[in-house]
Structure 1
């Protein structure tokens, strides 16, 4: 049998690591159990002087550090310890009765949550780090690549209600040996964590498709990808632009997305770029209209999601006009942080908002 190359992990190493973790987990549980036992002994010795809420500390430590396999047993231990503490006390100060009720309710909650955690196989600390990692992966897809000094691209994203996840995202990459930049702004159906997980899958797929396909095949391929996933809420809107960094010529295509905007530096006017096409994930074998144009020196392009322009009881046209007015006002001051300032100034805080600004410096 041929030996594995150095540095390649083997099953035995993983099993040893797993056994070490089990031993550590049991050790933590044993220490916490001893602490609980010590509190019970103290209550038995001086029931009127030792507060029951001392058990709170091992309970919190158990929530943080015990695995899904042991935590339910530890929560049951805490419940039993509370019952024993009530039996050991000769008198029942009001503060201890209240503490027992709170601790008992918290223990039941811990028991319920530990069973829910068992479905994912991760503890709370690891679970939070995984969620942060997923969010960072989505944001990494939208990082703007290095561009010539004559080009400026800014992006900003704000999630509904301050959630760490959003259904809106960007993907940015270069193609044609760095001579073109490909940008897409996407709005996945739904909000919060559910939309965030779908956005993670779609952003990864789009990141691979956008640099590998010609601009006219990108949205049809993304549409096919969504159809194959067959999600319950499986649709998304998107606007994709491919820009020649030497000439400023661009090709823009939209999949059910709000119209992009171009600002002409010479006149100071904004122009709607209406490229029609069905949303992603609904219809098979679709084609998307192409809006061609050129960004002259000083011109700008604005791509955004509907959260920037849609609000209850207001037409989307009025929202677009409001956004253009706000952008024009902010442009008089500085280009620095323009995308962030514009997202903060317009749109609904109850919806995800995303904005991408492309500016060709004069």
Structure 2
């Protein structure tokens, strides 16, 4: 109980009291303790104090600290919530962390101002994975969410790059893909920063192809990078797919083969309307060792 409700000084006091009581019982011949029992009690006290001290150094106090971690995770998810879209458009997304950890290095940020025809979506893959990248993901998602929609679409990636450089993190890079879509005409613009290319599924011709964008470097690496823009149109029935490298990369295998496998699974699922983003991720069967994210932007 002390581990969950006490601060470090109180937990230390409790540990001393427990050890003092054990010693007193032994000296008064009230209870005989074997060496194994002594070892177990001492280990429990040491581990309990160490655990509480580590949480206190992080600014986490008692059982309510777990609620704060849950709140942080929920905020990260909320930043990626897709706004309500007009009839004829749909967005399906899924983000899965490595080994089902609470935090993921992949995150989504979206913006669609009421009355505006422009929808913007950014998919980011922070260096590292799982909890290792969770703190950086939370910070960047808040910052990128503030930038997105607050400036011209072609200024977003340069601004995100400047922000990341200013953090001076030892592993401060991230890859990103930025998509802007006019919901009235279907015209779209996509730019990448060290990120795998988007995929366009054409309903009319049945063709599925990668959106070849001369990608710029990852964010946080170069002071003044240039991010090329690919322009196209999402026709009725078309789908655009954004994803992170956790779905297409595997040790000892070519990334291009992974992209081909993802495209084949997307074509099977999306063309037949037998499922959405979850079904595509499940069909790819990527390993659990990396964070994975997928977004499907569909025009009906």
Name the TM-score, length of structure 1 as normaliser. Answer: 0.78
Distance 1:293 1:234 in 2: 32
- Other-structure match for 2:178: 240
Deviation for aligned residue 1:313:
1.0
- Other-structure match for 1:216: 154
Pairing partner for 2:168 from 208, 218, 230: 230
- Structure 2 counterparts to residues 1-362 of structure 1, below 5 A: 61-89=1-29, 92=32, 98-175=36-113, 177-275=115-213, 276-331=215-270, 334=273, 336=275, 338-346=276-284, 347-361=286-300
Instruction: Judging by fraction of residues, say which structure has more helix.
Output: 1
Distance 2:185 2:75 in 1: 32
Deviation for aligned residue 1:287:
2.0
Deviation for aligned residue 1:175:
4.0
Distance 1:170 1:357 in 2: 12
Distance 2:155 2:12 in 1: 52
> Contact conserved, 1:158 with 1:343, CA < 8 A, in 2?
no
Secondary structure of the residue aligned to 2:112 is strand
Q: Structure 2, unaligned stretches of length 5 or more?
A: none
Aligned-residue RMSD, C-alpha: 1.8
Kindly tell me the number of residue pairs found equivalent between the two proteins: 298
Deviation for aligned residue 1:286:
1.9
Distance 2:167 2:264 in 1: 40
Distance 1:85 1:245 in 2: 77
Q: Structure 1, unaligned stretches of length 5 or more?
A: 1-60
Name the TM-score, length of structure 2 as normaliser. Answer: 0.94
Distance 2:26 2:294 in 1: 59
Change (3 A) 1:186 1:112: same
Which deviates more, 171-180 or 260-269? 171-180
Change (3 A) 1:100 1:333: farther
Deviation for aligned residue 1:164:
0.5
- Other-structure match for 1:46: none
Secondary structure of the residue aligned to 2:111 is strand
> Contact conserved, 1:72 with 1:115, CA < 8 A, in 2?
no
> Contact conserved, 1:310 with 1:348, CA < 8 A, in 2?
no
Deviation for aligned residue 1:87:
3.2
Deviation for aligned residue 1:66:
1.5
Secondary structure of the residue aligned to 1:212 is coil
Deviation for aligned residue 1:100:
3.9
